[in-house]
Amino acid sequence: MVLAMILAAAVLLSNQSLRLGLDLRGGHQLSARVSSSDPEVVITAADLDGVKNVIQRRIDGLGLAQTRIHTVGSDRVVVQLPTAQPSREGDTEAEAVVDNTLQQVASQITEKAILQFGVLRPAEVDRYATLLQQRRNANIAVLRGQQQLEQLLRSRSDSEQISAVREELEVSQAAFDQLEQNIGQLFDLRPLTGDDLVQVVAGPNLESQGEYYELNLTFSSDGARAFADLTKEVAAAPDLRLAILLDGRSISEATVGSEFRENGITGGGARITGTFTLEQARELEVQLRGGSLPYDTEIVEQRSVGATLGSDNVRRSLRAALVGLALVSGLMVVIYRLPGLVAVAALAIYALFNLAVYALVPVVLTLPGIAGLVLSFGMAVDANVLIFERIREELRSGRKLYQAVETGFSRAFNSIFDGSVTTLIGCLALGYLGSGLVRGFAITLGIGVGLSLFTSLVCSKTLLKTGLFLYPTLRQIKYFQPVQ
């Protein structure tokens, strides 16, 4: 089993790279200016912090780890995030991943995400039908552009051709957005807004057989009553439409059946349907969950940033960690002889398992995270020390070698387990109450402590007993403790 786990960890690391944090790898920085459309409004420091908190919730909802967000001056919010750097120049696939990530983040920063509900004005029914057809045609153009761009990226075409298609797609998307804005102007707004939501969940639209996605909304008690009144109004006339508007753009319209004329749609739930892709539905879900931005935000700067610690500091830190591990390994071999050599081998397996878990979860590795990893190495060695001292005690009491090994591992278990549990409790507290780099330290230390239980109690025992079974010459007391 141990051998199978080692092979699986090695294969995983060979196929999946580790994610490094902003301090080790660098990334991108986006600066946004916060302003108000009303020139008489003065944005205070508290207002700026409110904008920062909304952006923080939205970006956290995207699942981007180790993102740093802070305010600068009286009107700036700066977002720094680690991004994958292309391994070589012209790597269009890696560049596309970075561009997509930056576009998602920019969308979360700049879109207010003010959700409103409206009713189509009776005089605009014909105008609505015309704009609806134009929007369908524009949506087809957007979908074709997206498919063409994906094909070019997969075939790794030249960058000029990709740039040309991307520009055409941006023009088509802008035309589609403008049509949604024009349609939104045909509706009269009602009191129901995004403030009345208590839950938003994105999921597949079963009516489209999974081709498109939808948003399921749950309203508060007041919102449920307002939605029932709204649908009751729309159900009164067959030509009326109910629209769901986001920042003034109509993202979905629907009719309401005549059976709801008396009471409207009750139950406190609604669906936003349309031609949403999974990514679009997920972005809307994040925006609505994070809340609307109270002020206008505009990206004024976007640039790459280097590793915040600098490459020299990173190399020195890693060198210090390796030197420390080498000294500990040497000391274990000198003091404990054969068991010390087994502990060093188990430590190497432990390091492999740690890195494999980091790649699998995935964990964004920062310098504090590396510190947590190195600290967990020390705890793994400490567990082996407890076991080997127990084995020595059993040998001194006159037990045979195999009995001493079995008894040493079994009697050391309680001490090792109790120590690991108390450390994990501290890691949980740091991870829950801390943030950013502190949380990264807690995560790597917690993973290391959990794995150290397995490697010290299972891997060390397996290696030691296997060595004694395969090589009878090792079954001598002098390889376990100095001869008295």
CB contact at 8 A, 62 and 286: yes
pLDDT at 128: 93
pLDDT of the residue at 90: 52
* pLDDT score at 397: 84
Express each pLDDT in 199-239 by its tens digit: 888 888 887 777 788 888 899 999 999 999 999 999 988 88
Supply the pLDDT for residue 92.
58
pTM for this predicted structure: 0.62
Residue 36, C-beta contacts closer than 8 angstroms, at least 6 positions apart? 43, 295, 296
* Residue 366 C-beta-side C-alpha neighbours within 13 Å: 24
Distance between CA atoms of residues 382 and 380, nearest Å: 5
Q: What is the pLDDT of residues 28-41, one digit of tens each?
A: 888 999 988 888 88
pLDDT digits (tens, 9 = 90+) for 336-350: 888 888 888 888 888
Give the count of beta carbons closer than 10 Å to the beta carbon of residue 473.
Answer: 7
Looking at residue 456, its pLDDT comes to 83
Question: Cα–Cα distance between 390 and 406 in angstroms, integer?
Answer: 10
CA atoms of 366 and 363, how far apart (whole Å): 9
Check whether the bond before 362 is cis (ω within 30° of 0): yes
Q: Residues 123-150, buried b or exposed e (16+ Cβ, 10 A)?
A: ebeeebeebeeebeebbebbeebeebbe
- Consecutive 10-residue averages of pLDDT for the chain (484 residues): 80 77 75 87 86 85 75 88 60 67 84 88 92 92 87 76 86 92 93 88 82 88 91 88 89 87 87 80 82 86 71 70 82 84 86 85 74 79 85 83 85 86 88 74 84 85 83 77 54
Q: Give the per-residue pLDDT at 483.
A: 45
Q: What share of the chain is helix, strand, coil (3-state, %, to 5)?
A: 60, 15, 20
Q: Using the 8-state DSSP alphabet, how is residue 295 labeled?
A: S
Question: If residue 33 lies in a helix (H) or strand (E), which one and from where to where?
Answer: strand 27-35
Q: Which structure tokens are listed for 322?
A: 């390796």
If you search the block for the tokens 């699942």, which residue do you land on?
63
